[in-house]
Structure 1
Amino acid sequence: MRVMLKATMDTDKANELIRSGKLPELMQRTMDRLKPESAYFTAQDGSRTCYMVFDMQDSSQMPSIAEPFFMSLGARVEFTPVMNAEDLHKGLSQLG
């Protein structure tokens, strides 16, 4: 299932990882593991935030995906099922 991950990072913890040079490593490991079809990094509501859209094979993957964000960044993490335009078209065509 296509899922969008939103991780909103704690500023102090993210600052620590930036100073130590570990934030790029954490993000690269995450991207290597998830192989997102898209990834965006921004500031939202005054906090560093990343969005990644990827294929989640099973909901049992949620802990292994979220825990690095929780433990290393004190992040708030959200998973949201999403569709692309092709998925939407397929879904709408099934309405009858």
Structure 2
Amino acid sequence: MSNFNFHVQPQWEVDVDVDVLTEEEVKRVLVLHNDDYNTFDFVIVSLMEVCDHTLEQAEQCTWLVHYKGKCEVKTGSYEFLEPMCTALLDRGLSAEIM
């Protein structure tokens, strides 16, 4: 008769690599606000040139700004959005990073 113990569970050693998030990057949004003096065409072209929007994205954002008063036009880190915000402000548009 053999001496097998069927109640003993095999033990396995498993090495697991765990990535530890040391610093979470805060996502921000670039918000464009409505104004009474820039034309639709100017805003559309600005969003395409500054924020790299497609024509369709820029048109949709422009309509949202017109009817809702503001629109989130881009997301990312502050460092990513800051040059875009500055460029929109330099063009006379009203924008902020939130």
Instruction: Tell me: higher relative CO, structure 1 or 2? Use CA pairs within 8 A at least 6 residues apart.
Output: 1
TM-score normalized with structure 2 length:
0.46
Structure with greater proportional helix content = 1
Structure with greater proportional strand content = 1
- Which of these two proteins has the greater Rg computed from alpha carbons? 2
